[in-house]
Structure 1
Amino acid sequence: MNIVIIGGAGFLGQKLARALVARGRLNGQPVRRITLADVTDPVGIEGAVPVDTVQCDITDPASVARVITDETQVVYHLAAVVSSHAEEAFEEGMQINLHGTLNILERCRALGTAPLLIFTSSLAVYGGEVPDPITEVSLLNPQNSYGTQKAVGELLVNDYARKGYIDGRGVRLPTISIRPGKPNRAASSFMSSILREPLNGQGTNCPVDEDFRHYYLSPRKCVENLIRVAEISAGDLGGNRILQMPGRTLSIRQMIDAMTAVAGPEPARLISWQPEEAVRRIVGGWRFDIHADRALALGLEVDGSFEENVRAYIEDDRPGG
């Protein structure tokens, strides 16, 4: 089985590739080759499965065609311009998040082999005056450009799957915390920074109140679920190929308390509390009372507690381990 991970330079693409290399199989078949594709060169990965790295600009159909070939059986589409960036740079967000997704789908259709395609969507497809709780049949009502672009991608994945062009499935990711690396331009970036930087002995700022609530999942559990999504049968998914990935709803205070329970009181003292209106304006429209019953029934999982998220970061990603 040959697997292409588009967005392979990102932390999630790298973790997914490492997990697939360690596992060696997907859908009962041996993984023969993994290709990590991104607009910048991904970091290579050593292991029993060959891992290629290649540059790919998904806004260019010819570039996509060089990566997704007749030998490709599985495509993970993880690439995106994130929320605040897509809001500030509308044309760039449209080119990558919408037209780039369409280029990937069109390339898969042109193959004529109906490859398995996993598309990562977002909680940003929800919002506005839709009653709680949010379930998988709730109206998509995005309140920013990023959410709109992801919602269109979901509809396209469902339609291409209905037509038999792909074996498609999509997952709306919770906010992934604690993310490794540096802050990015996502409005949700602070939801990792307020934990990651203090755990690394660095100061950071929280731009929202401590009672702000949101829906979270660890990188470790997210990767496990991305693999499980690829192994769900098309028959079990039915006509709606989009799943809400499970998560836990927590306040900022609960997250910080979990960090304190694992790492002691010192990290929390490195957090300042200065409001940032641009961030608050975007995240204030996001929803958090989200139910993922169908995904749980199909075998996807959630972290047992946020303490597990903190421990996973310390074990997997904190500099020095």
Structure 2
Amino acid sequence: MKILIIGGGGVVGQKLGRALAARGVLRGRNINRITLADISTPADIADARIPVEAVRCDIADPASVAACVTADADVIYLLAAIVSAHAEEDFDAGMTINLMGTLNVLQRARALGTKPIVVFTSSIAVYGGEVPDPILDHTLLNPQTSYGAQKAMGELLLNDFSRKGFIDGRGLRLPTVSIRPGKPNRAASSFMSSILREPLNGQEAICPVDDDFPHYYLSPRKCVENLIKSGEIEEQSLGQNRCMMMPGRMWTIRQLIDAMTAVAGPEPAKLIRWEAQPEIQRIVKGWRFDLQPEKSLKLGLTADESFEDNVRYYLEDDKPSA
């Protein structure tokens, strides 16, 4: 079993690579090699029990994709993307990476003739606008951002390539993954980690929305578990729509901060500064909130039990040493 993770330099890609290397098995078969690919050569996985290679891959370049996606790839995780606020600011970059880059990977997988499994990370940003609550798996996709539109188009491609028998695809609409380690990125949702991560690290953070703002969350640890499970689902269980919501939980900003206080005490919350940012508010308030991930739950994927768990996972897995 050989696994390719495109977007293997990112937070989720690195965690997925480490989890698979530690696990050693997928779909009942031994993993013989993991390849991490990204626009810049990803960091290697130290002390892996199985061979792990790190390579450069630009999904906007078909030749680069062809060199990376080889015929021995049994499972391809397609995680690479231009994130939400970046895609909104730079329409052409978003289209080049999020739409054409996805198409390049799917076309290459088709050309292999081996029908590899392709696990594609979409986003809850595909929902929005004038559709009624609750949001179900088959609710009309009505994105209100360029990023959401590009992810929705990727889902349609994944479904059609699967219907034609070119690939065995499965798409997961990710909740906001929090608490993410590292530095803030250009995602509109980036503050949903930074307002917790920075205070837990003793640093000030800015919250651009009110404390009653609700959103749909999942921890990095649980996200990786679900990505692994999604690669093991049998094709016949997926039905005619290969794309679904990944399970998450709905919490307000105040509930996130209360969870942090319950785990880490009152001091971190004092480092949060409230400062409205209309451009971020415009994007995130266009996302829909009452999400009910029935299909993925039936297929065995799971959400965090509480946001206190998200905080504990960050402290256990990712908080920098003093």
Smaller-chain TM-score bracket: over 0.9
1:85 partnered with 2:68: no
The separation in 1 between residues aligned to 2:96 and 2:154, in whole angstroms, is 12
3-state DSSP of counterpart to 2:95:
helix
The separation in 1 between residues aligned to 2:114 and 2:250, in whole angstroms, is 40
Report Cα offsets for 1:245-264 as digits up to 9, x if no partner.
00000000000000000000
1:65: which partner in 2?
66
Report Cα offsets for 1:49-89 as digits up to 9, x if no partner.
11100111000111001111111111000000000000001
Q: 1:129 deviation in Å?
A: 1.0
1:309 maps to amino acid: N
1:107 partnered with 2:108: yes
1:294 maps to amino acid: K
1:63 maps to amino acid: S
How many residues matched? 321
The separation in 2 between residues aligned to 1:34 and 1:116, in whole angstroms, is 14
2:229: which partner in 1?
228
1:14 maps to amino acid: Q
1:175 partnered with 2:176: yes
How do residues 250-269 of structure 1 correspond to structure 2 at under 5 angstroms?
250-269=251-270
2:149: which partner in 1?
148
The separation in 2 between residues aligned to 1:3 and 1:276, in whole angstroms, is 41
3-state DSSP of counterpart to 1:99:
helix
How do residues 142-291 of structure 1 correspond to structure 2 at under 5 angstroms?
142-291=143-292
Q: 1:268 deviation in Å?
A: 0.2
RMSD after superposition: 0.6
Q: 1:293 deviation in Å?
A: 1.1
Q: 1:238 deviation in Å?
A: 1.2
Q: 1:307 deviation in Å?
A: 0.2
The separation in 1 between residues aligned to 2:251 and 2:71, in whole angstroms, is 44
Percent identity between matched residues is 66
1:278 maps to amino acid: E
1:188 maps to amino acid: S
The separation in 2 between residues aligned to 1:80 and 1:94, in whole angstroms, is 10
The separation in 2 between residues aligned to 1:293 and 1:87, in whole angstroms, is 30
Q: Identify unmatched segments of 5+ residues in structure 1.
A: none
Report Cα offsets for 1:94-144 as digits up to 9, x if no partner.
000000000000000000010000000001100001100001010000001
TM-score (norm. length: structure 2): 0.99
3-state DSSP of counterpart to 2:212:
coil
2:312: which partner in 1?
311
Report Cα offsets for 1:9-32 as digits up to 9, x if no partner.
001000000000000000000000
1:71 maps to amino acid: D
1:205 maps to amino acid: I
The separation in 2 between residues aligned to 1:229 and 1:199, in whole angstroms, is 32
